Each structure stands twice: as structure tokens, then as C-alpha cells.
Amino acid sequence: MLKIENLHANVDGTEILRGIDLEVKAGEIHAIMGPNGSGKSTLASVLAGREDYEVTDGKVTFDGADLLAMDVTERACAGLFLGFQYPVEIPGVSNLYMLRAAINARRNARGESEIDAMEFMQQVNEKIKHVDMNPDMAKRGVNEGFSGGEKKRNEVFQMLMLEPKLAILDETDSGLDIDALKTVANGINALRSPERATVLVTHYKRLLEHVVPDKVHVLAGGRIVRTGGIELADTLEESGYAGIEQADTQAQ
Ligand code: ADP
Ligand code: MG
Ligand code: MG
């Protein structure tokens, strides 16, 4: 579903991603862990097609298509969902308005008719239950006045509504109390299916106790330096990232 080959990217002229290789198959959940500043958010931003990130080498294929050649809207229409560490607020544009526009943009791109109002509201009422969110919040401006935890729940609500093929979630667990963390995990697990995949970017192991990944990768210095199963996250929890970085320095 997603294939990243030798991806290099610069931010402000400095090379941050230094040759990433990663393959995510349909049905899989991958976790990307790593110390602060290792390039995790940069990788998510490059995949999202955000401005200010310059790809200097490499290739990214999504469902057989060249992802890097698509603009942000095309990526979303192709079924990519990006959740961010710091979700933006869009005062005055309601959550529901934005969601409906996003769903219809994707339907239009596929030549399908727009979602009818009844069906849309049925989905809203059903999916909002999964994230334990007050229905009134869906009507408010996008993330307007939401607490950190509410923004994360809202992000997962958006994801459940959009049913992406591939979701990339950057630090969706940061700053969450245990109830919110479980809610976020339930939302991610609810989307688990043989046709979909998820990439979880996370600094800590906490979330991975509730969403068990098929693979865990460690990003350090703009490269994936380790790949393993959930046991790799356990090792990191015990010895920290310093152990891994040290071992790599010695190996070089
Ligand atoms: P992580 O998410 O793993 O903590 P980031 O991808 O946010 O790491 O950052 C990787 C490196 O890139 C850091 O050294 C950071 O300072 C730098 N960086 C990220 N975004 C920008 C930016 N917009 N402008 C300048 N430097 C940036
Ligand atoms: Mg960071
Ligand atoms: Mg980050």
C-alpha cells in the first residue's frame, strides 16, 4: 500500500530525512518511534505534502501511484489521512461542514454522487460514540476552543468518518490522560481491516499497549535504524533511545 524508497528531504536547506525505506502492506499497523528531533514529524509532513518540505531524492508509492506527484487534495481523495501533533483550529468553519466537504470532495473525485444529509448525520451519530465526544462539539468550529484531549478525539472522529485507506497519525497520544488514550486506541482499532493500514508515529510506548502494531521502526538521525516487533518497543522503554543511538555509533 505504501512504499517509501530512499527518501531524502530538506527543511530550510538542512537535510532531515537521510534515506528512509519503509513498506506498509494493507491490513498492517506500523509504529514509528524515535527520539525528539529524529525526523518523525518531518516524515509525516512530507507524506502529507505540506509546504516547506523539499524532497531531494527517493520515491513514495501509494496504492501503486506516485504520491509525491500528488497535491494535498489529491492525496486525501486517494484515501490518505494525516493526523497531526498540533491540530489546527479553524474558527467559524464547523467540524461537520468540513467533514462533509471532505467526504464529498473524495466522492466527486471518484465520480460518485454526494452523500445525502440523512446518511451523513447517521454516520456522525454512530461514529461520534466511538470517541466518546459530545455531539455538540461536532457542530463547533474545527477544534475551536477544544482542549488537547478533545482535539485528539476529534481527530480520531474525523478519521472514522473519512474511513481512509491509510492513516498516518503523528503523536496522537501525546498529552492524553488514560481515558482519552483508550478512546483514541479504540478509534484506531475500529478502523483495523484487511483493506486499510495505519502508521502511528509515537515517542512513547503507551499507545502501543492498546493498539498492537505489526511492526515497530526506530527513526534516529533521519534514518530507520531498527525494525522489529512489539518487543522493540519494550526494549526502548527499558533502555531508552540513548542505548540504540550508542549501539549505532559503535557499529559505524
Ligand atoms: P520529531 O518529530 O522526530 O521530533 P521533527 O521532524 O519535528 O522531529 O524535526 C526533525 C528536525 O528537523 C529537528 O532538528 C527540527 O529542528 C528540524 N525541523 C523540523 N521542522 C522544521 C522547520 N519547519 N524549520 C526548521 N527546522 C525544522
Ligand atoms: Mg518533536
Ligand atoms: Mg514530532
Domain CATH code at residue 174: 3.40.50.300
pLDDT score for 126: 92
pLDDT score for 179: 85
- Which of 17, 41, 82 maximizes ligand 1 atoms within 8 Å of its Cβ, making it the mutation to test the pocket? 41
At 143, the pLDDT band (50, 70, 90 cuts) reads confident
Q: What pLDDT, in 10s, does the model give residues 63-100?
A: 999 999 999 889 988 999 988 656 677 778 888 998 99
Q: What pLDDT, in 10s, does the model give residues 164-219?
A: 999 999 887 777 888 888 888 999 999 999 999 999 998 888 899 999 999 999 99
Residue 157 CA to ligand 3 centre (angstroms): 21
Tell me the C-alpha distance between 196 and 216, whole Å: 17
Structural domain boundaries, residue 177 = 2-251
Averaged pLDDT score across all residues of the chain? 89
Question: Has residue 246 got a pLDDT over 70?
Answer: no
Question: Has residue 53 got a pLDDT over 70?
Answer: yes
Residues within 5 Å of ion ligand 3, judged at the Cβ atom: 40-41
Whether 16 is in the pocket of ligand 1, judged by its Cβ within 6 Å, is yes
ipTM score of complex: 0.91
Query: pTM score, two decimals?
Result: 0.90
Which residue has the CA at smallest separation from atom 23 of ligand 1? 11
pLDDT score for 215: 97
Residue 35 CA: nearest ligand 1 atom is: 3
Whether 202 is in the pocket of ligand 1, judged by its Cβ within 6 Å, is no
Q: Which three cell numbers stand for residue 127?
A: 461514529
Residue 13's region, left for phi above 0, alpha for psi from -120 to 50, else beta, is left
Highest mean pLDDT: which range of 16-30, 122-136, 173-187: 16-30
Residue 43 CA: nearest ligand 1 atom is: 6
Give the rounded percent of residues in the chain with a pLDDT score beyond 70.
Answer: 95
Query: How many domains are there within the chain?
Result: 1
Question: Has residue 249 got a pLDDT over 70?
Answer: no
Question: Has residue 14 got a pLDDT over 60?
Answer: yes
At 44, the pLDDT band (50, 70, 90 cuts) reads very high
pLDDT score for 216: 97
